[in-house]
């Protein structure tokens, strides 16, 4: 009985992955998912309460993993003593981005759902939320530099948001374009070098 239930669940998830990948959350048909999975609508509701609950089952573990690693990198840097932060600038974020690229390359399809097919769900602002956190911690770091006596110009928060948004959307292009892992890592390293140089210029460093 348990084997049958497990096989049914797997069929639903496979059918949902195909339908969501093809049409996005808004365009996906629950009727088509049920049909492709070979189950009745009643059987479907024995596993999931709604189409969004089904979508969440596919993407939530990956959203949690990516955001969790990102927050770990942000907080570990921010918790360093102020005088140590400049020498560590970029170290944690580099490790984090490499980890994220590797993770994305190992879980391409569900991550692509999260980033490209989630309009109409609670996940549609995933990248925006990550950018907002990046801006918050960037502004905190600039304050640390001022406390350390660095002459850091005031940067408009909206400008910081635009820069961070460009960076993160660029990193996630590795999903959209299905880049091989080695090429993706090279790509994000070059992207980070580009944005780091830009930040240093803006900060007068």
Locate 175 and state its tokens.
């999903």
Return the ∠ at Cα 59 (arms to 127 and 170), rounded to 5°: 30
Band (pLDDT 50/70/90 cuts) for residue 205 is low
Locate 78 and state its tokens.
């921010």
Per the prediction, the chain carries an average pLDDT of 91
What does the pLDDT look like over 1-25, one tens digit per residue?
A: 455 678 899 999 999 999 999 999 9
Band (pLDDT 50/70/90 cuts) for residue 92 is confident
Residue 1: per-residue pLDDT: 46
Give the Å distances, CA to CA, from 87 to 3, 16, 76, 80, 106: 54, 46, 14, 11, 32
User: Residue 51 pLDDT > 80, yes or no?
Assistant: yes
- Whole-model pTM: value is 0.90
* 66 contact partners, CB below 8 Å, separation of at least 6: 100, 103, 104, 111, 114
């Amino acid at each position: 009985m348990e084997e049958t239930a497990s096989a049914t669940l797997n069929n639903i998830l496979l059918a949902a992955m195909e339908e969501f990948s093809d049409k996005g959350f808004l365009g996906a048909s629950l009727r088509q998912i049920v049909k492709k999975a070979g189950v009745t609508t009643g059987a479907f509701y024995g596993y999931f309460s709604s189409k969004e609950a089904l979508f969440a089952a596919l993407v939530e573990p990956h959203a949690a993993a990516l955001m969790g690693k990102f927050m770990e990198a942000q907080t570990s840097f921010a918790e360093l003593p102020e005088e140590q932060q400049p020498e560590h600038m970029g170290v944690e974020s580099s490790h984090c981005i490499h980890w994220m690229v590797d993770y994305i390359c190992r879980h391409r399809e569900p991550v692509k759902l999260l980033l490209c097919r989630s309009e109409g769900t609670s996940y549609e602002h995933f990248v925006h939320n990550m950018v907002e956190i990046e801006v918050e911690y960037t502004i905190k770091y600039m304050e640390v530099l001022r406390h350390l006596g660095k002459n850091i110009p005031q940067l408009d928060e909206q400008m910081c948001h635009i820069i961070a948004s460009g960076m993160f959307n660029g990193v996630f292009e590795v999903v959209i374009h299905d880049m091989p892992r080695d090429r993706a890592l090279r790509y994000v390293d070059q992207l980070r070098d580009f944005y780091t140089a830009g930040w240093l210029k803006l900060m007068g460093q």
